[in-house]
Amino acid sequence: MPPRYVFVTGGVVSGLGKGAVAASIGKLLQARGWSVSMVKLDGYFNPDPGTMNPVEHGEIFVTEEVWEFSPGRGVSFRIAEIDQDFGTYERFLGVNMHPSNNVTSGQVMLSLILGERRGEYLGQTLRLIPHLVMEVRRRIEEAGERGGSDVVVVEQGGTVGDYEASAFLETIRQMRLSVRSALVHVTYVPYLRQVGELKTKPTQTSVRILQGLGLQPDGIVARSDVPLTPEARRKIALYSNVPEDRVFEDPYLDVVYRLPLILEEQGMGRFLEERLELEPRRPDLDGWREVVERMTSADREVSVAMVGKYWKMRDVHISIVEALRHAGAALGVRVRVEAVDSEGLEGGRGWESVDGAGGILLTPGFGSRGTEGIIAAAERALEGDRPTLGICFGAQLATAAFARARMGWAGANSTEVDPGTPYPVVDLLPEQRAVRDKGGTMRLGAHEVVLLEGTKLREAYGRRIVRERFRHRYHIVREYAERMEGAGYRVAAVDGSGRIVNAFEVEDHPYMVGVQFHPEYKSRPWDPSPTYLSFLRAVVGEG
């Protein structure tokens, strides 16, 4: 069967949860037994989002595999840092995504230009049409082939009308001439309280932009904070040239995992089957429904204070927040996340959230701003008995806190934060010393983690060797860790070579664990990460 394509575009504003719509479409097809690949097209010129500011761009997702992207002429990058929507895709579909499924303008431009230097376009003028469009198409098709997929769901990043998206939208237009596909446009329908009305004009305008590019949507997903009235639905249908039953409502949801169920109830699955000419099948969503039920039916609530430096952006730690929710669902509790700004802590603000929370989570990060606040929170955690989990940077700074508080090593720090620290308990990985370039040069992707006998983590995983994902340049220095072992610091995990400290635990603390890896990237709604589960167990009091 030739692969089918579903293209998902967005209109009106960004931040509508278009990734969740694309993932839900993938889920509904997967639940019918079709194999699905997810592709995301991003208009920016960075080959990957790895160097972007998390406050602007949100979380960077890390894949299991590292992709060696070699556009030519001795140029090659390692790519494992991709758009956060891939986290949503993995959490919905339970399939590891390949990094090359995130196609950026930067990647395709590089391939074209370096291909031209190799002589692949002799005699030709390299242009947006046909060359760039062909290259994007090649990448989309390759993703489908790699996954052996029946259906490839392609999400167009950004909003229609963005200059950056135009080459991708033209690719979609041309592909639609020769493949079986559906185009689903996600828009926003604002409610104006003053007049008590839902306004469909922005949707009409964004559909017209699409039509101006030669693209006619087959279905509209309308995000709205109040239920769509029949009148609003009728208007959207009329002005978009789609039947009313192909205007789908995307309401505000308590848990995002409910979205596939809501879209299925409105006939999204049937619409896709018809449009893609797939044989009709009954979707198996029972297991999924159960997970959603478990997430929403909990009557007990616990709180976790997440201390970090990037909280100006809501989604910046989305995989961690989701991993806590997955663990909560397994334990039958709802997790309330308190976002605590570490710079605020430095100025004395926000401590009541830290002190009032059931557990403390020290977040990943880079650079020196806001780190004293994280270290202070870790010291507070060490003094008390609240369950505390440090992730990557959080684990590194908790190690500095231990060194200061328990060893009396004043000024202990990571050399990333304070290159002149008298106690460099965290330092560059040896293999990073010669690295000068920034993009894609960290220790990335999944690596073996050896969990040591008699530790909480070993018990949590029930296995000696696991694979977890990493994204770091610095590490906890073994010699210092060993010196701290006499004071209750315990190395709990190492890498396959035994060289890199991958986790620590504090022996005389009910639960204080730091991990160098990012277990949140592998957590699934129905299969929570053992690290997060053990942390939340301790928070709930079952540890």
Report the nearest approach of ligand GLN to the CB of residue 64 (Å).
16
Task: Give the nearer residue to ligand GLN in terms of CB position, either 92 or 393.
Answer: 393
Comparing CB distances to ligand GLN, the nearer of 17 and 365 is 365
CA angle centred on 176, ends 173 and 177, rounded to 5°: 95
Question: Residue 231 and residue 237: Cα distance in Å, rounded?
Answer: 10
Q: How many CB atoms lie within 10 A of CB 473?
A: 17
**Burial classification of residue 208, based on how many CB atoms lie within 10 Å of its CB (0-12 exposed, 13-18 middle, 19 or more buried):** middle
Segment holding 251, helix H or strand E: strand 247-251
Shortest reach from residue 473's CB to ligand GLN, in Å: 4
Nearer to ligand GLN, 308 or 528 (CB): 308
Nearer of residues 101 and 399 to ligand GLN, judged by Cβ: 399
Distances (CA, A) of 67 to 294, 318, 444, 518: 36, 23, 10, 19
Q: Which helix (H) or strand (E) holds 111?
A: helix 105-118
Shorter beta-carbon distance to ligand GLN: residue 168 or 310: 310
In terms of DSSP bridges, do strands 36-42 and 102-104 run parallel, antiparallel, or are they unpaired? parallel
Angle of the 530-540 helix axis to the 318-331 helix axis, nearest 10: 60
Contact 473, 80 (CB under 8 A): no
* Least Å from the CB of residue 455 to ligand GLN: 21
59 vs 273, beta carbon nearer ligand GLN: 59
CB 431 → ligand GLN: shortest distance, Å? Answer: 13
The CB-side HSE value for 230 (13 A sphere, CA atoms) comes to: 0
- Contacts with ligand GLN by CB under 6 A lie at 364-366, 392-393, 416, 471-474
Nearer to ligand GLN, 188 or 310 (CB): 310
The angle subtended at Cα 390 by Cα 388 and Cα 393, nearest 5°, is 155
Checking 76-82 for CB contacts under 8 A at 24+ apart, the result is 77/47, 77/48, 77/439, 77/440, 78/440, 78/441, 78/444, 79/47, 79/48, 79/50, 79/440, 80/440, 80/444, 80/445, 80/471, 81/48, 81/49, 81/50, 81/440, 81/444, 81/471, 82/40, 82/48, 82/49
Nearer to ligand GLN by Cβ, of 11 and 365: the residue is 365
How far, in Å, CA of 462 to CA of 439, rounded?
36
Residue whose CB is less far from ligand GLN, 365 or 528: 365
Distance CA 518, CA 515 (A): 7
Residues with a known catalytic role:
392, 518, 520
**Nearest distance in Å: CB 485, ligand GLN:** 22
Residue with token string 């290259």: 135
Contacts by residues 334-338 (CB-CB < 8 Å, ≥ 24 positions apart): 334/298, 334/300, 334/301, 334/302, 335/301, 335/302, 335/303, 335/304, 335/536, 336/301, 336/302, 336/303, 336/304, 337/303, 337/304, 337/306, 338/303, 338/304, 338/305, 338/306
Closest CA to 99 of 115, 114, 86: 86
Q: Strands 359-362 and 333-341: what pairing?
A: unpaired
In angstroms, rounded to a whole number, what is the distance separating the alpha carbons of residues 358 and 539? 6
Residue 52, both tokens? 């972007």
DSSP 527: B
List the structure tokens of 79: 């790519």
Count CB atoms within 10 A of the CB of residue 429.
15
Is the backbone peptide bond immediately before 99 cis, with ω within 30 degrees of 0?
Answer: no
| Nearest distance from C-beta of residue 453 to ligand GLN, angstroms | 26
CB neighbour class for 480 (10 Å; exposed up to 12, middle 13-18, buried from 19): buried
Minimum CB–partner distance for residue 100 and ligand GLN (Å): 22
Residue closer to ligand GLN by CB (options 65, 120) is 65
